[in-house]
Structure 1
Amino acid sequence: MPDADVHGPIDFVLIEFTGDRLTGRGAEELMSLVERGIIHVYDVLIVGKDAEGTVYAVDLEESAGRAGDFAHLAGARSGILAEDDLREVASAMQPGTLAALIVYENTWAIPFIAAALESGGQLIAGGRIPAQDVMDVLEAMETLEATS
């Protein structure tokens, strides 16, 4: 059993949605990852930016109609996110959108990390390639193969 002090990598994603409501299966799939022990959600922040550029936070407990199934994550507040994060999120957003900032731990990695540490390993580098970059490269490769 891994040491209780071992944690998986912590990531964040910022996902922007057009309009002023969150709809779709995103929150359902996020909860499925939590229920299966793949991730642990530390924080969820929903930020809106109206057509004039005014920024507002969406209270998940009080705005279920606007937040959709993300309202089920209202209790995800670890304190990692601060007021500065709201401003930073807003600066990345387009007017007329809502964005979900989700901070999560990759709990699937804990046994691997614990085993590596027990074997004398030490993480000396890490990184992440954004999903859109991967999809763009794969699409370009497909297009290239189709024209060859």
Structure 2
Amino acid sequence: MLTIGKLGASAGVKVPTIRYYEQIGLLPDPDRSAGNQRLYPKTTMDRLAFIRHARELGFPLEAIRDLLSLSDRPDQSCAAADAIAKAQLQATRARIARLRALEAELERMVSQCACGTISDCRVIEVLGDHAHCAHDHQVADSMGD
């Protein structure tokens, strides 16, 4: 059995994150010691490592919840897991496309800078008016990625 600190250190996850995953039901409620200290079995460490790796790959928490639910029933078809992974791949490709458009726009903006005064600054001009952009990179959720 591991304490929350040892669990976090072993999985590379901070203690508040572990508590949050417990609150939202991604991790089961732990057993408690006589002193009311959380105690976790190795299976929780494995589950936490799964969550951490999925987060590193960009999976949203709801997809991770679904994948964990599927992993709890190993005799089922993996079609649902494949569908979740394919959706994540599509989302990743869309983010990459947005980032490439942002990169191109930033390169264009910087290359057009004459390094004069702010009143003639192309960077300030483009940032002040999206109409000066060559690419449509406005995406409502781009700040949340």
Shorter-chain TM-score tier: under 0.3
Name which one, 1 or 2, has greater alpha-carbon Rg.
2
Question: Larger relative CO (CA 8 A, sep 6+): 1 or 2?
Answer: 1
Q: Which structure has more strand as a fraction of its residues?
A: 1
